[in-house]
Amino acid sequence: MSANLLGSTVLAGILLLCAYFSQGCTTVVVPLKPRAAAMLDSDHGLVFGRIHLTRSGEDHHPNLRLPIDMKWWVTEETKGRPFLIDHLPIDGPFVVKLPAGSYRLTAVYLDDALGLWQASLPTTFSVRSQECTYLGTWNLQVQTEFFDGSINRQVLNQEEQAEHDLRMIVGDISWPIMSAPLALATESSPIILTFRTQGTALTSPP
């Protein structure tokens, strides 16, 4: 690897990590815990669904080098306000509370022992006050080499199961449910690694 290429990848990695870990004007939210109805308020809505991730054909297992944390970087498009949705499950349901608005998922991060994997899985959805937005069941299949790989997404419509999960977390909520446009066809996207070692961040070449 040439000195110029090495320098550019190091700089890209550092900038990515700085942007990722900077919380200046970014709002960090986490999925709601069970029995969280008391946390609901009038100017927010709920986003819910289910995620199931496999890596290189293997289901989640604590002895495998699977992501230990999943994060979504979303932007509220009207005001350009960024949100980091942290601690999403890699095998199970999620319910997230967000302010009303129109959102775009701009990046998915998978944080594992090697570093931070990043992929683009474009998704748009709306959140309305005192309503629930269903994003579907996301089956994510990750194939990784050392620095890069691919991630496949298939979205299933399992609304009956999702509504059961929603009630288990927030109780018997009376808010109406709407579905975001579900990309039902299988989609594939590159995934790249920002590798952290000895205080240095290296991003895989494009």
Task: For residue 81, tell me if it sits in a domain.
Answer: yes
Task: For residue 16, tell me if it sits in a domain.
Answer: no
Cα–Cα distance, 66 to 19 (Å, whole number): 23
Cα–Cα distance, 45 to 42 (Å, whole number): 8
Per-residue pLDDT tens digits for 99-119: 999 999 999 999 988 789 999
Task: For residue 95, tell me if it sits in a domain.
Answer: yes
Task: For residue 112, tell me if it sits in a domain.
Answer: yes
Averaged over 38-50, what is the pLDDT?
Answer: 87
Quote the number of domains for the chain.
1
Q: What is the residue range of 151's domain?
A: 26-195
Task: For residue 43, tell me if it sits in a domain.
Answer: yes
Q: Would you place residue 38 in the very low, low, confident or very high pLDDT band (cuts 50, 70, 90)?
A: low
Structure confidence at residue 2 (pLDDT): 41
Structure confidence at residue 63 (pLDDT): 42
Task: For residue 17, tell me if it sits in a domain.
Answer: no
Per-residue pLDDT tens digits for 136-179: 999 999 998 878 899 999 999 998 999 999 999 998 888 999 99
Task: Using a cut of 0.85, tell me whether the model's pTM lies above it.
Answer: no
Beta bridge partners of 141: 54, 152
Task: For residue 11, tell me if it sits in a domain.
Answer: no
Task: For residue 54, tell me if it sits in a domain.
Answer: yes
Residue 94 has pLDDT above 90, yes or no: yes
**What torsion do the CA atoms of 19, 23, 26, 30 make, to the nearest 10 degrees?**
110
Structure confidence at residue 66 (pLDDT): 59
Cβ contact 47:98 at 8 Å: yes
Cα–Cα distance, 173 to 134 (Å, whole number): 14
Averaged over 120-130, what is the pLDDT?
Answer: 95
Structure confidence at residue 57 (pLDDT): 54
